Structure 1
Amino acid sequence: MNLGKVAVLMGGASAEREVSLKSGEAVLKALLSRGVDAFKFDPIDSPLHTLSELNVDRVVIMLHGRGGEDGTIQGALEFMNIPYTGSGVLGSALAMDKIHTKQIWQTCGLPTANYRVADKSSFDPTSCKAIMDEMSGTVMVKPAREGSSIGMAKVSSANALAQAVKTAFEYDNQVLIEQYIEGDEFTIGILQDNALPSIRMSTPNIFYDYAAKYQDRTTEYFCPAGLSEQEERDLRALAERAFSVLSASGWGRIDAMRGANGQFYLLELNTIPGMTATSLVPKAAKVAGMSFEQLVMDIAATSFDKNFAVPKEVR
């Protein structure tokens, strides 16, 4: 596979910059170890159009969060006619928005937790008690377009909900209020549109938050996840379907919960998951018999799936 000259996009200006830099450095190191002509590119340091001047053949996107996963960078690269890894403009934009993600999954008949949307311009804190009653007394509060659990909270009272929504509004004008599913949490990596072995997570924290993901050493990961063969097949099939209906492509990660009734509920799709030492997709790939370096090369290969060409006269 001749990747040519490869720019690894990392860093950026989102709230997930720190994680993005760690992911990008790990991916860059893996590419270099395989003899790829790769280099670091941080949009904070250089204008994006510099990629055209550098005669880049393709881009491996390791930008997490807004500006990297929301279709913005994907559209710019398409305009410059530079192939890139992962989902395209539409899939990236849809998956970045947790509210639109859930609406599409519901429309397609896929299981996801009950929810309500809070809009900064019209949210009434006095509605919190009714929301809590409707959702069985415990909810997750999530900014609609943030990742890495930034701005999230688990609450069990009307007063706590009002405060959590207020805090989440600091990150986004729309907030997802989602009924909490009591049960095991799973994540399913997707590589070249196929599901990897599922991972079950266990943390002593209130929920699988930023610290549990990137800082604590108390989080436990189980892969195999302890499911029966049929449950594993069902969960992987659900993840692949959830990935597909959002127009995602290439690679990503689906998060899900299993309720007390055994039903799996979809939480969200991450189109550019972390690739740090503690990240989940590399863990699943290892169980599938794949080294970190091979995983990175397979992710890079998703850039060959892009089939676009902006006419020269409009570039």
Structure 2
Amino acid sequence: MKVAVLYGGTSKEREVSLSTGKGMIQALEQLDHDVMAIDFDPNQMEQLWKQLMQVDLVLIGLHGKQGEDGTVQGMLELMGVPYVGSGVLASSLAMDKSKAKQVFAMHDIPVARSQSFHYKESREDMIHSIKATFTKPFVIKPNQEGSTLGLTIVESDEQIADAVQMAFTHDSDIIVEDYVSGRELTVSVLGNKGDEQALPIIEIVPKSKYYDYESKYAEGGSEHIVPAEISEELTETIQHYANQAHRALGCETYSRVDFILSEVHGPVILEVNTLPGMTPTSLYPDAAGAVGISYTEMVQLFIDLSLEKYS
């Protein structure tokens, strides 16, 4: 098949996307597909349009805004070009943390208490409301951003103003939520609608105090324990929540669902990633590997599932 890989892009997660794209391109070449590698630039739409009209299928290796948020998916649907992964609505909902949390709560999936703010609101009122509502430590982060970019774990009142300012440099809306301490867990979900399955749960043990950007992407930044060393009953519960979250947002083909396992609250969902990282240190390929699916086989499986969906 002639398969395009959209990667790179213009978001603040460009470097991660370049690594994801590289992995996808190498896998497709090993599978003998005819690969068109496209470093996505929304300012070159005419050229992009001509390139994409030549391909049978698109793999999206983009992360962050203008890639993971439904915009590229909408462009491909307007063009009538088949692509791998979730559609416009699911991508947009998953990227909007505030809206996603509302959907999770509607489906009885445990979430951390949170409050959203818009940049046009009074900063003074905002900070007063945060102080009155949340007990330290708590989290301030952009509403639509990934890879912990713009996120602050607030441990003193003096941090609040700077944390709010930093979050607003990434997005026009921010979200403040209770900090839930516990074990970092993630569940990869695979399959077409009605036939999704949760892969083995991975526990992430960061080398630093928090699971930050460096812990996620630097070699040796964290240890992945797969399968996570938790009870069978708890495993089934968390995998059920992951499948439920994937379906509630309307995700397709694959996603990765992140949780905190709190000693007090049990599993608490953090977010759903519709385009999880596919770098050499990424979690989704690790989960696939745990059930005997190599990186290359995983990419072909994504293609097969997508062709089944479009047939």
Q: TM-score range by the shorter chain?
A: over 0.9
Q: Deviations over 1:130-152 (max 9, x none)?
A: 53453331111111111111111
Q: Deviations over 1:45-78 (max 9, x none)?
A: 853312344x211101111111111111111111
Q: CA deviation at 1:292?
A: 0.9
Mapped partners of 2:89, 2:100: distance in 1:
12
Mapped partners of 2:308, 2:69: distance in 1:
19
Match of 2:130 in 1: 131
CA contact (8 A) 1:129 1:158 kept: no
**Against the structure 1 CA distance between its residues 50 and 237, is the aligned structure 2 distance closer, same or farther, given a 3 Å change threshold?**
same
Q: Deviations over 1:185-221 (max 9, x none)?
A: 1111112232111111111423211111112524111
**Against the structure 1 CA distance between its residues 13 and 220, is the aligned structure 2 distance closer, same or farther, given a 3 Å change threshold?**
same
Aligned residues with identical type, % of pairs = 37
1:227 alignment partner, one of 225, 230, 240: 230
Letter in 2 for 1:65: G
Mapped partners of 1:257, 1:132: distance in 2:
24
Match of 2:264 in 1: 261
Mapped partners of 2:202, 2:30: distance in 1:
27
Letter in 1 for 2:238: L
Q: Secondary structure at 1:82's aligned position in 2?
A: coil
The 10-residue stretch of structure 1 (116-125 or 131-140) with the greater mean CA deviation from structure 2: 131-140
CA contact (8 A) 2:214 2:221 kept: no
Mapped partners of 1:182, 1:13: distance in 2:
33
Task: Please provide the CA RMSD for this pair.
Answer: 1.8
1:43 alignment partner, one of 20, 40, 63: 40
**Against the structure 1 CA distance between its residues 36 and 197, is the aligned structure 2 distance closer, same or farther, given a 3 Å change threshold?**
same
With the length of structure 2 as denominator, give the TM-score of the two structures: 0.93
Match of 2:255 in 1: 252
Mapped partners of 1:30, 1:37: distance in 2:
11
Mapped partners of 2:246, 2:274: distance in 1:
9
Q: Deviations over 1:253-312 (max 9, x none)?
A: 10110111251100001100110010000111111111111111112233225549xxxx
Where in structure 1 are there 5+ consecutive unaligned residues?
309-315
Where in structure 2 are there 5+ consecutive unaligned residues?
none
Q: Deviations over 1:68-120 (max 9, x none)?
A: 11111111111111110110011001001111111111122211001111211
Q: Deviations over 1:17-63 (max 9, x none)?
A: 1111110111110111011112201222853312344x211101111
Mapped partners of 1:288, 1:156: distance in 2:
40
1:275 alignment partner, one of 267, 275, 278: 278
1:34 aligns with 2:37: no
Q: Secondary structure at 2:140's aligned position in 1?
A: strand
Q: Deviations over 1:205-252 (max 9, x none)?
A: 232111111125241111111011111111111100011101111111
CA contact (8 A) 1:86 1:302 kept: no
Letter in 2 for 1:22: S
Q: Secondary structure at 1:49's aligned position in 2?
A: helix
Match of 2:121 in 1: 122
**Against the structure 1 CA distance between its residues 136 and 204, is the aligned structure 2 distance closer, same or farther, given a 3 Å change threshold?**
farther
With the length of structure 1 as denominator, give the TM-score of the two structures: 0.91
Mapped partners of 2:148, 2:284: distance in 1:
17
Mapped partners of 1:226, 1:262: distance in 2:
18
1:295 aligns with 2:294: no
Mapped partners of 1:291, 1:241: distance in 2:
26
Match of 1:109 in 2: 108
Mapped partners of 1:132, 1:122: distance in 2:
16
**Against the structure 1 CA distance between its residues 305 and 90, is the aligned structure 2 distance closer, same or farther, given a 3 Å change threshold?**
farther
Match of 2:22 in 1: 25
CA contact (8 A) 1:6 1:60 kept: yes
The 10-residue stretch of structure 1 (143-152 or 40-49) with the greater mean CA deviation from structure 2: 40-49
